[in-house]
Amino acid sequence: MEYELRKLGKLAYRDTGPVAGNSDYTTVVIIHGLGFHSANFIPMLPFAATHNSRLVILNRREYPGSDPYTTEERHQLEAAQEAEDGKALLNEFMRNRAHEIFDFLTEFVQQEKIPLPNGQSGGIILVAWSLGAIWLMPFLLHAPSFPIGEVDISKYVRHAIIYDSPYTCFAYPPPEDAYLPLRDESIQPRDRAEVFSRWVSGYYTHGPPTEHGDGLERRIPAQDRPSTIDTATKEQIEGFFDNKVAGFEGSDILHAGFGLSTGLNAELRDRVFCLPRQSVPGFWETLPIVYLCCHRSVYEMPWAALSIQNQLEEAKRSGREIRNISIVTMKGANHFAHWDEPERLMQQLLTAL
């Protein structure tokens, strides 16, 4: 069955459609990561209806079918690196991206008559995979400030899932001897995206992590399973990976780097994970979050899980109120569970909370 791209507002998406004969299905909306867009999730789509769910995979701006950034938007992103108010510029840029997701959900719920939550069924589970977390975090922060449209999507969203995002999305300090092919000067810039795809899609054998990251493998995948990218055909890779956006000068790389250098990622992390001190938190501030960690992913993801856990424990010790955040581990899975174990991941997303 083909799942062609559709368009709503500025964003393209793939949609399995409503579940035939059921009016209480759960809608799972996924925001993709760096380079690998909605086509990389196609193996999951046939399993949605089996589990009484509707799967909607967004393509972010710049990716196939979605609008490219305008000249003004690109300038705003690039200016964040040099301007004195770089963090404010990037925050406004990301607030606008969050608004686009908010508008998409509002229009989609209204247009498709999405079922309201009813216990463990119905409603929307909002998922961000990998780099997609740096779109989810500003969404959760800024959603309360967006005008409510024809429908109030706060009545539909049940919880959010951060699916195997790296520690850099939250600006946690790196472990000792941190490594990333995209910043490896020994690799030609034009080749880094390809090297990155093999590195990030490997299966890694880790020991128990320490506070310095000892036990987490940085560079070399295990040999018992091939990297996910090596199990795909050339045609499949060309269909689900956008080398331009993920490349050295691509908007995703600029955005990810500026989020760290301006301090915005760290600010978003603290404001989203911890509850406001001076006001009564509302729906979006208290929406539960699950961090889903695939335990054979490269070190960046288990290090993120450990760092989140450490932050939550420190916040509790200091008397700071925190959001309801749980960490769930998917044993044996790597960063591409949606490709290698699609039905298992479908079940995991539906039962994570």
Q: Give pLDDT tens digits for 91-131.
A: 999 999 999 999 999 999 999 999 999 989 999 999 999 99
Is the pLDDT at 306 greater than 70, yes or no?
yes
Is the pLDDT at 90 greater than 90, yes or no?
yes
Q: What percent of the chain has pLDDT over 70?
A: 98
Binned at pLDDT 50, 70 and 90, residue 182 comes out as confident
Q: How far is CA 31 from the centre of its chain?
A: 5
Q: What is the pTM of this model?
A: 0.95
Q: What is the pLDDT of residue 231?
A: 94
The CATH topology of domain 6-174+243-351 is Rossmann fold (3.40.50)
> Under a CB-based contact definition with an 8 Å cutoff, are residues 294 and 114 in contact?
no
> Under a CB-based contact definition with an 8 Å cutoff, are residues 226 and 15 in contact?
no
- Mean pLDDT for 212-222 is 84
239-248, 275-284, 314-323, 328-337 — which one is most confidently predicted on average? 328-337
> Under a CB-based contact definition with an 8 Å cutoff, are residues 105 and 29 in contact?
yes
**Parallel, antiparallel or unpaired: strands 124-129 and 157-163:** parallel
Binned at pLDDT 50, 70 and 90, residue 2 comes out as low
Q: Strand, helix or coil at 161? A: strand
Q: Tell me the per-residue pLDDT of 120-178, one tens digit each, with 9 for 90 and over.
A: 999 999 999 999 999 999 999 999 999 998 899 999 999 999 999 999 999 999 998 88
Binned at pLDDT 50, 70 and 90, residue 189 comes out as confident
Q: Return d(Cα 163, Cα 169) in angstroms, integer.
A: 12
Out of 82-86, 112-116, 245-249, least confident range? 245-249
Degrees to nearest 5, angle at CA 76 with 81 and 262? 30
Q: What is the pLDDT of residue 1?
A: 56
Q: What is the pLDDT of residue 268?
A: 96
